Structure 1
């Protein structure tokens, strides 16, 4: 009997060791790869493909792009001279009848605005077109930022499911160990029921997240303007690039490259050009004309000969009612002031947003370091010890449940911190005009 008891004890120890080893393997940390690793490169490539697809298919971006080129088509229209006027006159009752062709007069006249007026008209339209181009750039940056944010949110849910799956495996192994000890009378049925309660709770959370992830995929597909049921590929690891610029550089870049702020600056410039254009429109314009009068158009005995008469003319259009032009100039000055005030408002808002996003980024960075370097390793170590003691008949099952739940929450917090860091970086990129382009770059694609 002594030998049998000793053999049974060794079997229990061996089974417990295998159990602890299996649980230890399930407690390995989820590693987030460096930007240069193959997993990170795969994730980055997939995301870039989706971004390009969204930029290509987005109807709003296409509409703003076409609006810019439609505006450019107005430049040659406003820069052209007025159409010349041609007039044909026929003298019905001349004093001396002859060939009907000799009773006609043909005249032509061309009007010319004041010097520089046409150039200002073109410049004003070009400024307006540039404002519309900044709206196009702003929309591009917004689309990219939305795609990235939705992508990282899907990653968050996908990684939560991976964490839950690992915890389900851990609970399954723990349940089998508790079941054996319960059958041998070493533990209460309460321990087994608590494991099953945790499993039921995890199954419900998994079902909820799977449903939420499917809904998020539909939203993601709508950003790409493709069928809602289209497959969305989510790699198991998430690309996690770091900010490579300091705070001051980011602030300056936002003020220099942000499309919304640049659009307000161009609106002010366009208003100044409009004011100068109104000033030139108030100047006189000139018309040059030529009249060819045939000999029998009007009978003049004092004019001998059969030659047709040529008459040149100069017309001056005098803008006598000047209230119209004064109102145009005043309107342009008001619009310039509005644009200037909006610049200040946008500058203040962008500065505040930049500071907030930097704070969010660094807060997430600190949380990542806290969870990766201290909380998760220590909790994982404590859980291993508790499992080992429990397998040896000395541990507290309540402590195991608490540590397992705490590890689950910490791993989810770490995953969420990575997501928040990436989203903050994506929003900073949108503010700094990361995806700004020129018309030449678009045409070369």
Structure 2
């Protein structure tokens, strides 16, 4: 009794250690992926370009919110005009135009909302970059696993081949068994070469997303973790409608065009002009006036610009209204599109979940069947074709299991992209 208990204890310890190792590998992989995401956010040139677009849009705000430049005019009297205090020789004019009340603030509001739309486009690009990095990382993991699984199956087939050769030499099997193994080996060798080519292509793609050297190695976990859908959200679709950066960008553009209508109306209001004139007067040698030769100020001057031609201002208002309507329709269309995309992605997530369970169960069954068939073939040389068929199925189940893991995580990553995370 004591010995049996000790054996069970050792077995439980081994299982626990394997579980801790797998969990630690998953945590390691998630930590590595977070580091890659941070690196991509810092170094990806496309994302930097989007941020510069936003910064450039922000510089538009002080441009449109400033008063028009003042006008300075200089005049020289070719034929001086005689006055009581002397001849007028030079004249300087300074004029400043002032738009209707609130126009500059309304222009700033337009520019600010358009800049905010640029920022949401930047945030959407960042979310999309994170999704691409995650997807490339998962695909690279799958290819690494596919290469390992294929290599293991090649080794198994080589054992089958040696077993068939032994039985052929003993006269207990046909040379056809060896040839069948050769066919399977050739297919797997070709598949392995394809996987290796795909691995390099994915490595280059992943490192290009991070803007690092294409040859840099990629650290992946021994076992890929399984991501879940966001928690604490009653309706993910409603959350998408609230948080999606594309919808937010449309909202900001809509607000910009609402303010643009205000700008158009204020553009059609009068503008004011305030001026100041300064005239330089020369001395009159024949004048005995006490203020002979003293300069004279002529100020102030006030003017008003009346927009009489109303057609263009009405057109500016209608333009802003059409743009508002267009953005509202785009928003509705985008919401419908996001709803469809989410439902398809949710389907992919559920399908991945089912395929994970299915292929894991099928792999376990196929391994048992394969063990039985190998034992049977070793004793009576029957069912060799069935052995190869089950071995091929086992390979497919193992690959399908790893692919289901990556597909499920990719679906979660895309949902987080839709949520703007």
Give the shorter-chain TM-score range.
0.7 to 0.9
Q: Which residue of 1 aligns with 2:362?
A: 375
Q: Distance in 1 between matches of 2:270 and 2:402?
A: 71
- 1:327-385 Cα distance to aligned partner (Å, 9 max, x none): 1111000111111111111110000000000000001101111222x212111112222
The structural deviation recorded for 1:49 is: 2.8
- 5 Å-filtered alignment, 1:155-234, equals 155-234=141-220
Q: 1:421 to 1:157 in 2, by over 3 A?
A: same
Structure 1 residues without counterparts, runs of 5 or longer: 1-31, 435-445
Q: Which residue of 2 aligns with 1:424?
A: 411
Q: Distance in 2 between matches of 1:180 and 1:350?
A: 62
- The partner residue of 1:311 within 299, 308, 317 is 299
2:321 is the counterpart of 1:337: no
Aligned partners of 2:233 and 2:239 also within 8 Å: no
Let me know the Cα RMSD of the aligned residues: 2.8
Q: Distance in 2 between matches of 1:86 and 1:220?
A: 59
2:276 is the counterpart of 1:290: yes
- The partner residue of 1:366 within 354, 359, 362 is 354
Q: Which residue of 2 aligns with 1:66?
A: 52
- The partner residue of 1:327 within 315, 323, 327 is 315
Q: Which residue of 2 aligns with 1:132?
A: 118
Aligned partners of 1:57 and 1:225 also within 8 Å: yes
Aligned partners of 2:348 and 2:411 also within 8 Å: yes
Q: Distance in 2 between matches of 1:349 and 1:44?
A: 31
Q: Which residue of 1 aligns with 2:386?
A: 399
Aligned partners of 1:387 and 1:395 also within 8 Å: no
2:140 is the counterpart of 1:154: yes
Q: Which residue of 2 aligns with 1:281?
A: 267
Q: Distance in 2 between matches of 1:227 and 1:309?
A: 72
Deviates more, 1:222-231 or 1:160-169: 222-231
- State the 4+ residue runs in structure 1 displaced beyond 4 angstroms: 32-36, 96-100, 293-298, 303-307
Q: 1:320 to 1:296 in 2, by over 3 A?
A: farther
Aligned partners of 1:103 and 1:296 also within 8 Å: yes
Q: Distance in 1 between matches of 2:320 and 2:418?
A: 29
Q: For residue 96 of structure 2, give the secondary structure of its aligned residue in structure 1.
A: strand
Deviates more, 1:274-283 or 1:251-260: 251-260
Q: 1:246 to 1:167 in 2, by over 3 A?
A: farther
Q: Distance in 1 between matches of 2:367 and 2:166?
A: 24
Deviates more, 1:64-73 or 1:82-91: 82-91
Aligned partners of 1:90 and 1:297 also within 8 Å: no
- 5 Å-filtered alignment, 1:13-28, equals none
Aligned partners of 1:295 and 1:309 also within 8 Å: no
TM-score normalised per structure 1: 0.82
Q: Distance in 2 between matches of 1:177 and 1:144?
A: 49
Q: Distance in 1 between matches of 2:317 and 2:85?
A: 57
Aligned partners of 1:35 and 1:41 also within 8 Å: no
Aligned partners of 1:109 and 1:287 also within 8 Å: yes
The structural deviation recorded for 1:321 is: 1.0
- 1:396-442 Cα distance to aligned partner (Å, 9 max, x none): 323222221111111111111111111111111111101xxxxxxxx
2:129 is the counterpart of 1:143: yes
Q: For residue 359 of structure 1, give the secondary structure of its aligned residue in structure 2.
A: helix
Q: For residue 290 of structure 1, give the secondary structure of its aligned residue in structure 2.
A: strand
- 1:118-166 Cα distance to aligned partner (Å, 9 max, x none): 1001110001111111111121122221222222222222111111122
Aligned partners of 1:33 and 1:238 also within 8 Å: no
- 1:3-34 Cα distance to aligned partner (Å, 9 max, x none): xxxxxxxxxxxxxxxxxxxxxxxxxxxxx989
